[in-house]
Amino acid sequence: MSQAAIPATDVGTDAAPKLKRVLGVPSLVLFGLVYMVPLTVFTTYGIVTEMTGGRVAVSYLITLVAMLFTARSYARMSVAYPYAGSAYVYTQRSFGGGVGFLAGWSLMLDYLFLPMINYLVIGIYLEAAFPAVPAWVFILASIVIVTVLNVIGIVSVARANVVIIAVQAVFIGAFVVFGLASLSGQQVDPLAPFIGDGTVEGPGVLFAGAAVLCLSFLGFDSVSTLAEEAKEPTRSVPRAIMITTIAAGVIFIGLSYLAQLVFPSNVFTDVDSAALDVMQTAGGEFLAVFFTAAYVAGAAGSALTSQASVSRIIYAMGRDGVLPTRVFGRLSARFKTPVVAVLCVSAVSLLAIWIDLGLLAGMISFGALVAFSVVNLSVIKHYYLDRKERAGIQVLRNLVLPLIGFALTVWLWTSLSVETFIVGLSWLAIGVVLLAIVTRGFRRPTPMLDLKE
């Protein structure tokens, strides 16, 4: 018995509910952009401005180039395996069930805590705006709203995405208008955001800033988790992945460039909330309040989309028997959504009331970089080694480019703290124990999904 495949009846027959194929390229791109939160550029703006001497835009450009290689690998694998599960499915089919399970387990670390970090940010900002109401009230209310929308179905998520991205688009438009108006009549050096203020020099600081900013791109891979809800998955999903990555990069570079022109200094009232100094300079109290509202809306949208993604990864792992199938591998007959998985994610998100923000960010980085690494390697394994597509340009497409993506991801690993490695490796150890239980001490093959429509 080489592989333990789940019977097709458990995967999806005419009698079993299936995910609805309702998403086109625009909806998928919106999903990815909302997940990534365009305004996340301001989350680490002060820190990276100090680190790079005012060259945040340059560091974002470096990060975008690095992420494009990995995004391309996701797009390639989404064509080979257009199924829910993202890096979990890609790695499972390329390297086998055991490696696939550990990749999916690591990816869950990313996705499980992304909703949580958004709930935490919402609580912090709204408590600052309404001091009489404790943060946990806002956190709990956000979890309830997001859970209901995800249970109802992906169409409700897509519709909410339109509203959320519209709010951020309006704010970005307002910031551009106010920012340019504030520069009117002033002596402005358009090259300043690329040259810097001279406080720090050398390319090393730019790469260090890029390592921090890679967190802004966590989420383009979320598009691949919706492959079974896309109308034409082998066409729309890879296109949406690349469009999302490029669009987000352009937005990040543009906003950070304008912010540096508006506020050409790396001295802030508070480095963690440096964006408020920029907004006050560009548009006064009005723009600062508008920014807070738009940022909270963006965090809510990211929580909405990230919970949708992780629930589908849990569903995929339950559907093929790695997690209990009767609990996680079933869809709601009414809503056609993985309700149990959605509710489990919501329960874990309650930890946002107590957990530390720094620890959350570290765990998200660890899980994402594991997924990025294995997806780049999966392209090499699937196309170059297994299918032997090595003629002419195929060497570049199937070996060189994914190898560059893997090397850049390994480089990003160097920015992680010791604490992050301890927590991340502990999470992996738990995954190994769970895998040992499922395989009866590794004496049985890891269950794998029978990928048949």
Mean pLDDT over 221-225 rounds to 76
Q: What is the pLDDT of residues 280-304, one digit of tens each?
A: 899 888 898 888 888 888 788 778 7
According to the model, what pLDDT value does residue 357 have? 66
Tokens coding 197:
């203020």
Mean pLDDT over 5-21 rounds to 47
Query: Does the pLDDT at position 107 exceed 60?
Result: yes
Q: pTM of the entire structure?
A: 0.76
Q: What is the pLDDT of residues 29-39, one digit of tens each?
A: 887 887 777 78
Q: Counting every residue, how long is the chain?
A: 453
Q: What is the pLDDT of residues 193-217, one digit of tens each?
A: 888 776 777 777 888 788 778 777 8
Query: Does the pLDDT at position 177 exceed 90?
Result: yes
Do 26 and 239 touch, CB atoms closer than 8 A?
A: no
Do 260 and 56 touch, CB atoms closer than 8 A?
A: yes
Query: Does the pLDDT at position 81 exceed 70?
Result: yes
Do 31 and 23 touch, CB atoms closer than 8 A?
A: yes
CA-only gyration radius of the chain, Å? 22
| Distances from the Cα of 131 to the Cα of 31, 137, 232, 387, angstroms | 32, 12, 48, 60
As a whole number of angstroms, the distance between CA 361 and CA 247 comes to 23
Q: What are phi and psi of 446, to 5 degrees?
A: -65, 130
Q: What is the pLDDT of residues 136-166, one digit of tens each?
A: 899 899 888 888 877 776 665 666 667 777 8
As a whole number of angstroms, the distance between CA 368 and CA 108 comes to 9
Vertex 143: Cα angle to 133 and 330 (nearest 5):
165
Tokens coding 176:
């551009």
